[in-house]
A and B are shown apart, each in its own frame.
Chain A
Amino acid sequence: MLKLITDLILTYIGTVTFGVLMNVPRRSLNLGGWIGTISFLAYRLCIAANLGIAVANLLGTLIIGILSMQAARYKRMPVINFNIPALVPFVPGGQAYQMIKNFALGNVGEAISFLLQVAIIAGSIAFGFLLAEMVNRMQTKLMVQFSSRWSHENRNNPKL
């Protein structure tokens, strides 16, 4: 439990400082950090529930995608300010490193098994974003029907 809390605190710090390196505007740093922390908590809960690494990454990035869109609408800023820092804890750094190391040392079999893990994680991250995009579009469609402000703002949105 203590380990999880330390991890979450460090995830928040890591997300915000990565945002600094990408020169994210100061007023969106904090929110981006929170999105990263919440999605990482979901990821850890999935891992703890033995749902497997693919579902965990998919759910984590789905949450990043949905929350970043809400944050972008709330703050009226481009969505990449929120989802790029929040994605950092999901980068398969450990597996990618093991892959490189095993290739360099000549253990091709092990290297390929790590390569497959990296591919699985990257794939689930991409499909997590796809699902989030679908949710966001459905939200826009619904809101356009029910709110006059939304239908005014989206009157010439080609995606609808």
Chain B
Amino acid sequence: MTNDQGHLMIKTALHAGRLMIENGSEIARVSDTISRIASNAGYPDSKVYVTITGIMMSVSGEENAQIEPVTSRSIDLEKITMVNDLSRDFADHKITLAQFEEQLTVLDHHSHYFPLWIQLLSAGIVSGALEVVFRHNYPDFLVTCVIGLIGWGIFYVINRVAKIRFLSEFLASAAIGTLAILAVRYHLGTNADDIIIGCVMPLVPGVPLTNAVRDILSGDLVSGIARGMEALMSAIAIGSGIAMILQAV
């Protein structure tokens, strides 16, 4: 890259794109954001190729294209929203390109997740509420809340300790199955099926599933299929965890 402004623009745009993909954005939004950043920085004829595992970008008339690999993946919709807000601010000339890049770096290192206890509480309430909505089994509401909370706790801890994809879903659902069957055996609950259906809901891969459909609809076939496989693998991990326990009893 011959000039500094162009270099900084590509660096910022790729950084923003990587942050969005890492946190679960759909591909069309990423390529749209990157081309908006480029045209707002004065490069309307940039070319960008976005997939779920990497981004390539070049500016017409300049020589080298730049590549940004995307290696880790998690779900944090707030970060996507913040990159979106920053991009809007940049379009309105409220921040300069250098400030944009600086704020992206800050955003990259600080996650604004809800505190763990709120997450655990939410997981419990999701489980209980959806158990009642799906199955109309009111007596098992509380026990579903407790088991769902424990299940999310296991999911969270394994995600933190051993960073192996799909292992956390498998172990958490196996624990949910075991606890549900034990709860019914010791007369804390009435129907193990209903309890398991409720408790598994927080683990459902909602973001990859929705994004897979949206990617395929918008023509990003490569990323859509990859994302669909990701969702399918999570579903298989949850299913085999449950199936293993059901067969053992």
Contact = CB atoms under 8 A, between A and B. Distances in A.
Q: Do A and B bind each other?
A: yes
A152 interface: no
A97 B152 contact: no
B220 to A, nearest CB: 13
Interface string B181-224: 00000000000010011001110101100110110010000000
Contacts of A83: 210
> What secondary structure prevails in chain B residues at the interface with A?
helix
A80 interface: yes
A78 interface: yes
Interface string B128-165: 01101111100000000000000010000000000000
Interface residues of A, number: 44
Interface stretch (A3-11, A52-60, A138-146): A3-11
A96 B130 contact: no
B113 A23 contact: yes
A150 B152 CA distance: 43
B217 A78 contact: no
Nearest to A44: B133
Contacts of A24: 77-78
A91 B204 contact: yes
B46 to A, nearest CB: 13
Interface of B: 24-26, 29, 39, 75-82, 84-85, 88, 112-114, 118-119, 121-123, 125-126, 129-130, 132-136, 152, 193, 196-197, 200-202, 204, 206-207, 210-211, 213-214, 217, 235, 239, 242-244, 246-247
Interface of A: 3, 6-7, 10-11, 13-14, 17-18, 20-25, 28, 40, 76-78, 80-81, 83-84, 87-89, 91, 93-94, 96-98, 100-101, 103-105, 125-126, 129-130, 133, 156
